[in-house]
């Protein structure tokens, strides 16, 4: 893993997150289990930067959690663009909706609740940008489901692809999450329809471009 001193230095030399995102970050840590799942300030800024560069008309996010990454991604949307975000746990809706409204982006963000494996096939949409940050076991399935819905020249961003370094260690038979990530990483690497780069940002972020 990256030396904590280097991580601290990179954070100190990156633009901080907004007061709103700082408030969301604090509330998530106070009220929600597993707050580590939330994108931090550095990754959030990276998501925002990528979205602003692409200026997508349509974004799909798999894994809303409390809405931090959705807000970051929505900042770069085209003027008439939409972000469609999928979340299994409907109990998180109150916090996410609260901050979507506070951000002024609520009209650009469409929330869905349910199993993404069932929701994605029902979405008759084409996307410029997809962000995957959900249950790791199903990463290969999510990739397969969204690839044909991604426009040629479109991008996928996938979080946690280093999985605390477990991807380079022997995998236990019971560890379905690590197996899912390793399978996904290899699947992307071998996919001739795409080009990719795995970035050691936070817990690993894969950037994929559909040819």
Domain region containing 200? 4-210
Strand 150-159 and strand 109-113: the pairing is unpaired
* pTM of this structure: 0.95
Tell me the per-residue pLDDT of 104-144, one tens digit each, with 9 for 90 and over.
999 999 999 999 999 999 999 999 999 999 999 999 999 99
Quote the pLDDT of residue 1.
Answer: 64
Of 34-48, 146-160, 166-180, the poorest mean pLDDT is in 34-48
Tell me the per-residue pLDDT of 163-193, one tens digit each, with 9 for 90 and over.
999 999 999 989 999 999 999 999 999 999 9
> DSSP letters of 156-193?
EEEE-SSGGGGGGSPPPTT-HHHHHHHHHHHHHHT-TT
Above 80 in pLDDT, residue 2?
Answer: no
| CATH number for the domain that contains residue 10 | 3.40.50.150
Average pLDDT, the chain: 95
Quote the pLDDT of residue 167.
Answer: 95
Contacts with 139 (C-beta within 8 Å, 6 or more apart), sequence order: 132, 158, 180, 181, 183, 184
Tally the domains of the chain: 1
């Amino acid at each position: 893993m990256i030396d904590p001193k280097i991580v601290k230095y990179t954070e100190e030399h990156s633009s901080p997150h907004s007061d709103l995102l700082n408030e969301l970050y604090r509330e998530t840590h106070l009220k929600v289990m597993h707050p580590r799942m939330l994108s931090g300030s550095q990754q959030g800024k990276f998501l925002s930067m990528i979205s602003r560069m692409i200026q997508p008309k349509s974004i799909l996010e798999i894994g809303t959690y409390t809405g931090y990454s959705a807000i970051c991604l929505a900042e770069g949307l085209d003027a008439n663009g939409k972000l469609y975000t999928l979340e299994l746990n409907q109990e998180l809706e109150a916090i996410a909706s609260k901050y979507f409204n506070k951000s002024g982006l609520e009209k650009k963000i469409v929330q869905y609740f349910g199993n993404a494996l069932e929701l994605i096939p029902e979405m008759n949409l084409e996307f410029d940008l997809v962000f995957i940050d959900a249950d790791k076991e199903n990463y290969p399935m999510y990739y397969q489901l969204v690839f044909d819905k991604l426009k040629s020249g479109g991008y996928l961003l996938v979080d946690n692809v280093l999985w605390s370094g477990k991807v380079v260690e022997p995998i236990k038979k019971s560890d379905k999450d690590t197996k899912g990530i390793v399978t996904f990483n290899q699947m992307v690497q071998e996919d001739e329809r795409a080009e990719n780069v795995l970035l050691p940002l936070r817990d690993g972020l894969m950037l994929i471009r559909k040819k």
